[in-house]
Homo-oligomer: A and B are copies of this chain.
């Protein structure tokens, strides 16, 4: 799109991840859910943290991970999300800015601490996420800078934000500003439980505001309450400009009007930690989409970015994704002036 300062603006929960390797007994004993995100309160967060093995702290947050990926791919990104004025908040802000993402949301004073996601990574790499939302949920309409939304080709929203009413209002506000300025709006459904919590709201949002929808197979089926994947795909095709559906080792399916692209998954040496796989697929897809590339190229760049992230602990790239993609023949065209 012409005249934009940013390719993608992300809006999401600003979270620092606490990752630890566990065994399957730990997952069972503590009632964790693999491949999913559970919301937990502060008391539960303290209990679970006390039980967890030694960990490592790495900045996270679904949309923030995507934006770090977008910057690593050489595209221009900005982010809106709320941390507290504390050490983990500083870590989050540092890591995002150091990744090359524009980030200037005012931190929260005198409220809850910066959000933490306690992530248990079992031997099969299918992480169980447990989020204490803290300051991140206190994002509100005032945090949505209309100038940033107008300056961005795509505004990308994470479904997790729907878990708090103020955040949801901020979320819809961002979508409205984008639409009023002829910018695109993208949404990720985030998580099967998140879809179940907010199905009706999501259905309405998708129909009225969303140009590009990200979902995995289970989330898409749950959104439309359809057991048949093709039926769910037909439903979303009728409601959004583009839908990109990830299917783990089966790769991704992208539909847009009558067009369709199927992207195979990539071989990964060893899957170490699946945290961030969906976030980085969205990163690759949106970087290419904002630069006007084909659906096929969008999907392929998504798969390349996702493959890097599952090869190590944490949901932020550890390799320059732009060079990685170039080695596979994918380069972003220049942004239009």
Contact = CB atoms under 8 A, between A and B. Distances in A.
Interface in A12-53: 18, 20-21, 49-50, 52-53
20 contacts: A18-B91, A21-B318, A49-B94, A52-B98, A54-B59, A54-B68, A54-B94, A54-B95, A54-B96, A54-B98, A54-B99, A55-B95, A56-B56, A56-B57, A56-B58, A56-B314, A57-B58, A57-B91, A87-B113, A87-B114
A137 B49 CA distance: 27
Contacts of A57: 56-58, 91
A-B pairs, top 10 by smallest CB distance, nearest first, are A57-B57, A54-B95, A87-B87, A56-B58, A54-B98, A54-B99, A53-B98, A87-B88, A56-B56, A86-B87
Contacts of A58: 56-57
Given A49-B94, A94-B49, A316 B54 contact: yes
Contacts of A52: 94, 98
A50 B87 contact: no
A16 to B, nearest CB: 8
Contacts of A50: 94
A297 to B, nearest CB: 26
A275 to B, nearest CB: 13
Contacts of A114: 87
Interface residues of A, number: 28
Contacts of A20: 98
Contacts of A94: 49-50, 52, 54-55
Contacts of A53: 98-99
Contacts of A49: 94
A276 B94 CA distance: 25
Interface in A43-88: 49-50, 52-59, 68, 86-88
A21 B20 CA distance: 21
Nearest to A20: B98
Interface-centre pick from A59, A86, A87, A314 (highest chain B CB count, 10 A): A87
A314 B19 CA distance: 14
Nearest to A88: B87
A95 B52 CA distance: 9
Nearest to A113: B87
A26 to B, nearest CB: 12
A95 B49 CA distance: 10
Contacts of A113: 87
A58 B49 CA distance: 15
Interface string A172-214: 0000000000000000000000000000000000000000000
Interface in A85-112: 86-88, 91, 94-96, 98-99
A86 B84 CA distance: 13
A240 to B, nearest CB: 32
A50 B59 CA distance: 15
A223 B318 CA distance: 39
Interface string A109-149: 00001100000000000000000000000000000000000
Interface-centre pick from A18, A54, A58, A314 (highest chain B CB count, 10 A): A54
